C-alpha cells in the first residue's frame, strides 16, 4: 500500500465512520485515498463508509470532531493540510486537551527533505502542537507509519483522553510498502504507567477507610467532574449515589452525569453554579470528588472550599490531580468505572447501612429556598425564559451545544440533562465559536437526537461560516442565537469591576443581520423573535421544524448571570442577584489585577 492508503485503512480498522477536514497540497495523497476507499466501500443505504465532512475552515473541522467525540465517546478524527491548515487546528487541539477529549489530528507536512527550509506552507507542527496536545508524532520513517497511526488512537482514548497529532510528510504519504495489519510503537513508559493505573484496584483496607468516613458523616456529597463522563462512569456513580442516598452536584463539564431531575441531584456548582448546590458544598461534612480537579471555576478559594468537610475523598485516573489544588483525606488513582463498582460491591458485602434522611430534607429545603429565578414580569425577553421554553420541548433528552459567554452559563443552569454526553461546551479553554461546529459534529455522531446550539451574537460570529456546513450536509441542527448586542459576560464584569466602562464589548452599532445570513446559507427556517408574547409559539415552531433551523432572539441586554462567585472568593461571598434568595451577604472583595473571568 501507499502511505496514504495505509493511513485510511487504519482509520477503517479503528472503526472510524466520519472524518472532518479541509484539503490542501500537502495532504492530497490521503484525501485521494479517502476518495478511493469510499468509492469501493459503501454502507447498506449506498452512502460512503467513511464520509469526509468539509467545513468552512480547519478550526471548524477540529470543533466538529470534538463535538463528535464528546457526543459519541469515540475518537474524533481531523485531517488537515500543512502550514495554515495545521495552525488553524491549534485552538481545537488545546481545547480538547483541556477538556480531555480524544482526537486524532492528521496533518500533511512538506516532504521530509524540505523540512526546516521554510518551504511553501511549512510550519513546525511538532513544536507548536507539542505544547498543547497529549502527544505529537512526526513520521519521518515510512516503515513506522502503520504502527504510529495505531498508537495515536491508543494514546488518544486510553488513560486521561486527549488529542494526538500525527504529522505526515508528503513523501511518506506517497511511499509504497507492505501493509502488515498489526503492530504498535514500543511506548513502554506510557503503557507501564497505564497498566499501573488500570491494575490499581481498591483494597479492602482502602474501602474500609472510605466507609468509615461515610459512617462518620451526616452530610455526604458527591462532587462529580468531567472525568465521570470521559471515563464512562456515570452509571457506576449513579448506582453508588442511589444505594446510599448521597446527593450529587456536578461541574460544568459533568452535566448529565447525574440526572438533573432526580430529587438528590443538585445540578451545577461553582462560579455560576446554582445557589443550592453551592450552599450544599458549604454544609457538607464529607466531600467525595469523582473525576473532578478542584479547578478555579469551582474552588476559587481552595482554603475555604467545602469548609465544613471533615474528610475529602478523591477518585481520579490522573495521579497529577491528587491533592494538586486541595489536600484530601483519602484518594485512589484508577479506572473510575471499576473503582466505583468495587466500592459499591464492598459496601454490599459488609451490608453498610446509614440513613441520611435529615440531610435529604435539608437538600430539598435548599433547592426550594434558593431556586433559580429571574424577572418574570419584564416586558423584555429574558434569556432564562427562552431556555425554560426550549427545555419543555427537549425534556432533558436533547444534545445541547454552546458557545462561550453568558448564554453558556444560562444554558448550563436552566436546561435539564437526563443522561451523559448531552452537554457539549468548551469548559477549561472557554473558546468562543465552539458551539455551532460542535453541534454539527454531534449531529453526525447522534443522527437520531435533537441537537441544539445555544449561542450568543458575539460567540457565533467566530465560526458563523459553519452555518453553510449544516445545510450542505442537511444536518437538522437547531441554532439559537441570543442577541444582547455585545460580549455579555465581559460587559457584566465591566459593570461589576470596571465602573461600567464598556471597552471593546459593545456591538450595538454592528449591522449584522443574522436572519439574512442564515437564509443566505440555506436555512429554510430562519426567524427573529423580539416579542415576548410570541415566545412559546415561535419556540414550538423552531423545535418542530424538520431540518436545519435558525432562530435569533433579541434578549434583555442587561440580563446577568447569577448566582456568581467572584474570582478568588468563597461561596459565602456568592452574589445571587435580585431574584434568587441568599442566606448571606456577599463580601465587598474585588478581584486582584491578575485575576480573570
452 preceded by cis ω (within 30°)?
A: no
Based on the residue annotation, tell me whether 345 is a catalytic residue of this protein.
no
- CB-based contacts of 476, cutoff 8 Å, min separation 6: 443, 451, 546, 547, 548, 549
Cell numbers found for residue 64: 466538529
Based on the residue annotation, tell me whether 121 is a catalytic residue of this protein.
yes
Catalytic residue (choose from 129, 237, 489, 574): 489
CB 407 within 8 Å of CB 492: no
Distance from C-alpha of 424 to C-alpha of 254, rounded to nearest angstrom: 10
Distance from C-alpha of 223 to C-alpha of 221, rounded to nearest angstrom: 6
Nearest CA to 146 out of 191, 183, 110 is that of 183
**C-alpha distance from residue 456 to each of 397, 441, 549 (Å):** 22, 19, 16
Residue 176: strand pairing partners: 2
Catalytic residue (choose from 35, 120, 179, 498): 120
CB 442 within 8 Å of CB 70: yes
- CB-based contacts of 264, cutoff 8 Å, min separation 6: 241, 245, 246, 247, 248, 360, 363
Cell numbers found for residue 194: 497505564
Residue 109: strand pairing partners: 169
End-to-end CA distance of the chain: 51
Catalytic residue (choose from 137, 153, 154, 170): 170
Catalytic residue (choose from 58, 146, 154, 466): 58
Based on the residue annotation, tell me whether 170 is a catalytic residue of this protein.
yes
Based on the residue annotation, tell me whether 20 is a catalytic residue of this protein.
no
Distance from C-alpha of 66 to C-alpha of 68, rounded to nearest angstrom: 5
Distance from C-alpha of 553 to C-alpha of 480, rounded to nearest angstrom: 7
Based on the residue annotation, tell me whether 595 is a catalytic residue of this protein.
no
Catalytic residue (choose from 1, 50, 74, 121): 121
CB 281 within 8 Å of CB 274: no
Phi, psi of 165 (to 5 degrees): -105, 130
For residue 121, the 8-state DSSP code is T
Cβ-in-10-Å burial (0-12, 13-18, 19+) of 500 comes to exposed
Distance from C-alpha of 504 to C-alpha of 148, rounded to nearest angstrom: 46
Phi, psi of 28 (to 5 degrees): -60, -35
Distance from C-alpha of 65 to C-alpha of 563, rounded to nearest angstrom: 33
**C-alpha distance from residue 59 to each of 106, 161, 434, 506 (Å):** 14, 20, 9, 25
Catalytic residues, by residue number, are 58, 120-121, 170, 489
Amino acid at each position: 500500500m501507499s502511505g496514504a492508503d495505509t493511513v485510511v485503512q487504519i482509520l477503517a480498522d479503528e472503526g472510524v465512520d466520519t472524518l472532518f477536514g479541509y484539503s490542501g497540497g500537502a495532504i492530497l495523497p490521503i484525501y485521494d485515498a479517502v476518495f478511493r476507499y469510499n468509492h469501493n466501500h459503501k454502507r447498506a443505504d449506498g452512502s460512503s463508509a467513511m464520509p469526509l465532512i468539509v467545513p468552512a475552515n480547519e478550526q471548524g473541522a477540529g470543533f466538529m470532531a470534538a463535538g463528535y467525540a464528546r457526543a459519541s465517546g469515540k475518537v474524533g478524527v481531523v485531517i488537515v493540510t500543512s502550514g495554515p491548515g495545521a495552525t488553524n487546528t491549534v485552538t481545537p487541539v488545546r481545547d480538547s486537551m483541556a477538556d480531555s477529549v480524544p482526537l486524532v489530528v492528521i496533518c500533511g507536512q512538506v516532504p521530509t527533505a524540505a523540512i526546516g527550509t521554510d518551504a511553501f506552507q511549512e510550519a513546525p507542527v511538532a513544536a507548536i502542537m507539542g505544547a498543547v496536545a497529549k502527544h505529537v508524532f512526526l513520521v519521518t520513517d515510512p516503515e513506522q507509519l502503520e504502527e504510529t497511526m495505531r498508537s495515536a488512537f491508543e494514546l488518544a482514548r486510553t488513560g486521561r483522553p486527549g488529542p494526538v497529532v500525527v504529522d505526515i510528510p508528503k513523501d511518506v504519504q506517497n511511499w509504497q510498502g507492505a501493509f502488515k495489519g498489526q503492530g504498535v510503537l514500543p511506548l513502554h513508559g506510557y503503557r507501564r504507567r497505564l497498566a499501573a493505573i488500570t491494575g490499581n484496584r481498591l483494597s479492602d483496607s482502602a474501602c474500609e477507610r472510605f466507609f468509615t468516613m461515610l459512617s462518620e458523616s451526616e452530610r455526604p456529597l458527591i462532587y462529580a467532574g468531567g472525568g465521570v463522563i470521559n471515563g464512562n462512569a456515570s452509571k457506576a456513580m449513579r448506582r453508588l449515589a442511589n444505594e446510599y442516598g448521597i446527593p450529587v452536584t456536578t461541574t460544568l463539564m459533568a452535566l448529565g452525569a447525574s440526572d438533573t431531575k432526580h430529587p438528590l441531584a443538585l445540578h451545577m456548582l461553582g462560579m455560576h453554579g446554582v445557589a443550592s448546590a453551592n450552599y450544599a458544598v458549604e454544609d457538607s461534612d464529607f466531600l467525595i470528588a469523582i473525576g473532578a480537579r478542584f479547578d478555579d471555576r469551582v474552588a476559587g478559594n481552595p482554603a475555604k472550599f467545602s469548609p465544613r468537610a471533615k474528610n475529602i475523598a478523591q477518585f481520579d485516573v490522573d495521579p497529577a490531580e491528587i491533592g494538586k489544588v486541595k489536600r484530601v483525606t483519602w484518594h485512589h488513582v484508577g479506572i473510575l468505572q471499576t473503582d466505583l463498582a468495587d466500592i459499591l460491591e464492598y459496601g454490599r458485602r459488609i451490608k453498610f447501612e446509614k440513613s441520611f434522611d435529615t440531610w435529604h430534607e435539608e437538600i430539598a429545603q435548599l433547592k426550594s429556598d434558593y431556586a433559580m429565578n429571574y424577572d418574570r414580569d419584564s416586558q423584555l425577553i429574558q434569556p432564562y425564559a427562552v431556555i425554560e421554553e426550549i427545555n419543555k420541548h427537549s425534556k432533558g433528552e436533547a444534545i445541547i451545544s454552546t458557545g462561550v459567554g453568558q448564554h453558556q452559563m444560562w444554558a448550563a443552569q436552566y436546561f435539564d440533562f437526563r443522561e451523559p454526553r448531552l452537554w457539549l461546551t468548551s469548559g477549561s479553554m472557554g473558546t468562543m465559536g465552539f458551539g455551532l461546529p460542535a453541534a454539527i459534529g454531534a449531529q453526525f455522531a447522534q443522527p437520531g437526537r435533537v441537537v441544539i446550539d445555544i449561542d450568543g451574537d458575539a460567540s457565533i460570529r467566530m465560526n458563523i461560516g459553519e452555518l453553510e456546513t449544516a445545510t450542505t450536509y442537511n444536518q437538522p441542527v437547531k441554532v439559537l442565537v441570543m442577541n444582547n448586542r455585545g460580549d455579555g459576560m465581559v460587559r457584566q464584569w465591566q459593570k461589576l469591576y470596571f465602573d461600567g466602562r464598556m471597552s471593546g464589548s459593545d456591538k450595538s452599532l454592528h449591522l449584522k443581520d443574522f436572519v439574512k445570513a442564515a437564509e443566505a446559507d440555506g436555512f429554510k427556517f430562519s426567524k427573529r423573535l423580539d416579542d415576548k408574547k410570541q415566545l412559546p409559539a415561535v419556540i414550538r415552531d423552531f423545535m418542530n421544524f424538520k431540518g436545519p433551523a435558525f432562530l435569533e432572539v433579541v434578549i434583555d441586554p442587561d440580563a446577568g448571570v447569577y448566582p456568581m462567585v467572584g474570582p478568588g472568593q468563597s461561596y459565602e461571598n456568592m452574589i445571587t442577584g435580585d431574584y434568587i434568595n441568599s442566606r448571606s451577604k456577599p463580601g465587598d472583595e474585588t478581584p486582584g489585577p491578575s485575576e480573570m473571568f
